Chains A and B, each alone.
Chain A
Amino acid sequence: MSVGFNDQLIAVLPRLRRFARGLTGSAVEADDLVQAACERALSRAHQFQEGTRFDSWMFRIVQTIWIDQLRARDVRREDAEDQGAHIGTDEPKRRAEARLALEEVRNALREIPAEQRAALLLVTVDGLSYKEAAEVADVPVGTIMSRLARARIALQAKLDAGAGLRRSTSDVKAE
C-alpha cells in the first residue's frame, strides 16, 4: 500500500465524518462508522482503481457499512450530540437560536428514509454531482434524482411544520 493512500485517507476524514454524522445522527456512531470504513479501505486498498475518485470510493464504503449495520440491527437514535454540550448557558441568545435551528435541521434529516438521506448528504451537503452520487450509491442517476427530490421535499415540509426556517440562512451563517 502506498504512502499516498494513507495521505488521501487522512485528507478525506473530515468529509467522511460529516457524511457519517448525517447518516447516523450521532457523533460517536459516526466516528465508529468512519473508523470501520478506514479499516475496510486499508484491507481492500488493492481494489481501489488509480485514476478514479478516492473520495467517492470512500463514501461508498461508508455507505455500504452503514447499510449493513442498518440491516443487522436497529439503529439507536440516541445521540451524543443531544446531551446539551453544544448549547452553553452563557452563549449569546442569537447564537443559541441559530444552534437550535441547525439542530432542528439535523432532527428533520433523521426522519428521512435512509437512502434518501444518503442522497441528500452526498449531493446537497457534500456537493457531489448526481452522476457521482449515483456511482457511490450504485444506482442509476434517475434514482438519485428521484431520491434527492423526495428528500428535499420531505425536509422542506418538516422544517415548515417545525418553523425551522424562522431564522434566515444569513443569520445562521453569521453564527
Chain B
Amino acid sequence: MSRPSDERLIAYLDGELGEDERAEIARWLEQDAELRDRAAQLSESAALLRAAFDETLHEPVPERLLAAARGEPAAVVDLAAARQQRWRRVVGDRRWWAGMAAAASLGGLLIGGGLGYFAGSDPQLHGGVQPVASTEPPPGTFDATIAGYHKLYVNAGPEDTARFDVPAGQKLPQDFRVPNLKPWGLTFQGVRFLVVGGQPATQLFYTTDNKALGPITLVIGKTTEPDLAGKPGQSGDIHVLRWRHNGHAYALAGSADLGYLWNLHNDIAYQLDAI
C-alpha cells in the first residue's frame, strides 16, 4: 500500500476504515514521523472545531424555538424573538450574566437579599430595559416552556457534564439557598440559568433513583404579577405546578404525579418562605 493520502488518513482518524486498511495505516504511522505529525495536526484542528461550537449546545434554547418546536402560532414566536433579542443585547453572554447573578444574588433563593434582578427592577443591571412581560403568557405556553426546559436537560443525559452553569458541589453565591429535597429521595445536581418569559430565571435540577418520580426541576424567576396559589398544569407527559409569592414565580416540573409535586411544592414553599 502506498503512503496514505490525507483523505484516507482522515477516514482512519474518523474510524471509517475497514480492519485491513486500518492496520495498514497504523503500520505507516509507526514508521513515518511526518505522517504522525500530520495525523496529530488533523486531530487537533478537529478538536478545535468541536470546541468552537460546543458552547452552542449549552446555551439556553430561545423560547421562540421551543415555541416553534411545539407548533405555536407565529405571532407568539415573533414576540418571543423580539424579547430574546432585546435580552441578548443587554445580557450579551451567559457567563457575564452568571457573574451578575452571583453579585446580585438569586431571586427567590435570597436570604434577606435586597436586589432583585429577574424583572429588571434595577435599571443599572438591566441597561435601562424595562420588563417586557407586563402580562403573563397564557398558562399553556408557560407550562410548555417549563416542560420544554425540563425535557431539554433531562434529555441531555448524565454524560453531558457541562449542562449546568453551577454543578452541585461547586461554589454558589453566598446567599444562595437550595431547597433540601433529600427526604423525598431527590438529590440536587446543579443550577442552570435560563430565560423564561423574556426574563432570566434559575432552574434547579434534582434526580432520584425512582424513575417513577424523577427527575424534577424547579424554575424560579421574578414576576410583577400578584401572588398565586399553586396551580397545576400539564404539557405532554410533564406535569407543571406553578405558584407566585412576593414577587417571585416558581414552577415545579416532572413526570411524577401532581400529588407528589404538590407535596414538594409545600415543602419548598416552607423552606424558602415562598408561600
Chain A: residues with Cβ within 8 Å of the partner, total of 55
Question: Is the beta-carbon distance between B49 and A120 smaller than 8 angstroms?
Answer: yes
Tell me, in angstroms, the Cα distance from A101 to B263 when the chains sit together: 50
Q: Is A72 in contact with chain B by the CB < 8 A criterion? A: no
A169 in contact with B49 (CB, 8 Å) = no
Contacting pair B92 A86 (CB below 8 A): yes
**B65 contacts chain A at the CB level, 8 A cutoff:** yes
Residue of chain B at shortest CB distance from A84: B92
Please tell me if the beta carbons of A172 and B51 are within 8 angstroms of each other in the complex: yes
Per-residue interface assignment for chain B, residues 4 to 36, with 1 indicating a CB less than 8 Å from any chain A CB and 0 otherwise: 011100110010100000000000000000000
- Bitwise interface map of A from 117 to 138 toward B, beta carbon under 8 Å scored 1, else 0: 0001101110001100000000
Q: B6: which of A38, A129, A153 is its contact (CB, 8 Å)?
A: A153
- Residue B229 is within 8 A (CB to CB) of chain A in the complex: no
Given contacts A35-B68, A105-B48, A155-B45, whether A7 and B93 have CB atoms under 8 Å apart is no
B155 touches A11 (CB 8 A): yes
| Interface residues of A, dominant DSSP | helix
Chain B at the A interface: SS class: helix
| A15-23, A46-54, A62-70: which lies at the interface | A15-23
Chain A residues within 8 Å of B85, by CB:
28
Across the interface, A152 reaches (CB within 8 A) one of B45, B47, B148, B237, namely B45
What's the nearest-Cβ distance from chain B to residue A131, in Å? 9
Chain A interfacial positions (CB closer than 8 Å to B): 1, 3, 6-7, 9-11, 13-15, 17-18, 21-22, 28, 31, 34-35, 38-39, 42, 80, 85-86, 88, 101-103, 105-106, 109, 120-121, 123-125, 129-130, 145-146, 148-149, 152-153, 155-156, 159-160, 164-165, 168-169, 172-173, 175
Binding site for A on B (CB under 8 A): 5-7, 10-11, 14, 16, 41-42, 44-54, 56-59, 61-62, 64-66, 68-71, 77, 81, 85, 88, 92-93, 95-96, 148, 151-152, 155-156, 236-237
15 extra A-B contacts, CB within 8 A, seeds A85-B92, A124-B46, A155-B49: A10-B66, A10-B148, A10-B151, A11-B152, A35-B64, A35-B65, A102-B52, A103-B52, A129-B16, A130-B14, A149-B11, A152-B45, A160-B41, A165-B44, A172-B48
